[in-house]
Copies of this chain bind each other. A is one copy, B any other.
Amino acid sequence: MQEPLFLRALRREPVERPPVWLMRQAGRYMSEYRHTRANISFLELCRTPELCAEVMATAVERLGVDAAIIFADLLPLLIPMGFELDYVLGDGPKIYNPFREPSDLARTRELEDLSEMSCVFETVRLTRAAVAPLPVIGFAGAPFTLAGYLVEGGGSRLFLHAKRLMYTHPEAWQELLGRLARTVARYLRGQIEAGAQAVQVFDSWVGVLSPEDFRRYVLPSLQELRANLPSDVPMIYFGAGNPALFPAFAELNADCYGVDWRAPLAYADSVLGPHRALQGNLDPAVLLGSRETIRRETLRILDAFGSRPGFVFNLGHGVHKETPVENAQYLVELVKTWRADDAKLRAEKQ
């Protein structure tokens, strides 16, 4: 039997059309998900593998996408590392004992044993079974993004506490990121052992950094993470928010790079080179617009990159909760019916 389309595209093998999945494809924009969440908190849901698998399988079926990602969250990993996490309605995640001073290293555990995350590994197994023969992506937060939450004590726009620590105590900062990198590597290896066929590392907030700071304060920990992952399972790195970081991202040697909508795919392609797969990059806000706009913007991306060996169609960020489900379905349908020959016809007409 042939390997799934998504995995062939990640390996830059020739494919008949680009695979498509959407970041945050199971979420509040979908009525089935809202129904599930009506009876359970977000953290409880994350701790219930049967429901996690069901939520994702439902979304995959409704949308008709080519891959599932496990339903999980970036932050529960921080709990066994020593932090008190909760999700406050309307305010997002909150860490009650944030990391603020070098002395906080004493209470920050690097995890050798990931048994406290076993429900996530079970989620991988159940999701594999629920969506077969489609492939399942495991994921985790990147060291900087996890450290950002740890130091701020939650989400942030500017990450000033994190930067203050970084600029004032660079050794403690590097030690913290190193512990996170090694913990995340073991966590992702656990997901791979449980059946994840690719892994995505979310660096959702790295875009608040300048390229100089990224290289000095963050890249070493990402390289340590990369070195501790198996080379035969594709790793996707999604560093959001600042296109000027791409030249430094290239040094990470990920197999595939997620491309934020802010960065033109042509730019990512030229900086990263043809030996890397690309995944992206429609602005998820386009799904709030007219069908005409959705079609124009989707075909613009497909006509330019749909035939590139190693291209995965996705959004440039997660689906917004205000998105009409039928617009997401329309998008997936556009990708699945796109053919390179039509692109040529459209180009000739112009």
Chain A residues with CB under 8 Å of chain B are 157-160, 163-164, 166-168, 207-213, 242-244, 261-264, 267, 283, 285-286, 288-290, 293, 297, 300, 316, 320, 322
Contact = CB atoms under 8 A, between A and B. Distances in A.
Among A163, A167, A300: residue with most chain B CB under 10 A = A167
A272 to B, nearest CB: 14
A297 to B, nearest CB: 8
A288 B164 contact: yes
A122 B263 CA distance: 42
9 contacts: A160-B285, A160-B322, A163-B286, A167-B286, A167-B293, A168-B288, A208-B262, A212-B300, A244-B244
Given A244-B243, A264-B244, A285-B163, A168 B210 contact: no
Given A244-B267, A264-B210, A293 B168 contact: yes
A174 to B, nearest CB: 14
Contacts of A263: 244
A215 B242 CA distance: 19
Nearest to A320: B160
A contact patch SS = helix
A69 to B, nearest CB: 21
A100 to B, nearest CB: 13
Given A243-B243, A244-B267, A210 B160 contact: no
Contacts of A283: 163, 210, 213
- The count of identical subunits is 2
Given A242-B243, A242-B262, A320-B160, A168 B207 contact: no
A160 B264 CA distance: 20
Contact of A168 (B213, B244, B289): B289
Among A164, A211, A264, A285: residue with most chain B CB under 10 A = A285
A167 B262 contact: no
A283 B167 CA distance: 11
Contacts of A320: 158, 160
Given A210-B261, A210-B262, A212-B300, 9 more contacts: A158-B320, A163-B285, A163-B288, A167-B290, A208-B262, A209-B262, A212-B264, A243-B244, A244-B262
A320 B300 CA distance: 40
A263 B242 CA distance: 8
A346 to B, nearest CB: 16
Contacts of A164: 285, 288-289
Contact of A285 (B158, B207, B211): B158
Nearest to A281: B210
Contacts of A210: 261-262, 264, 283, 316
Contacts of A267: 244
Nearest to A301: B212
A168 B297 CA distance: 13
B288 A160 contact: yes
Nearest to A263: B244
A293 B304 CA distance: 43
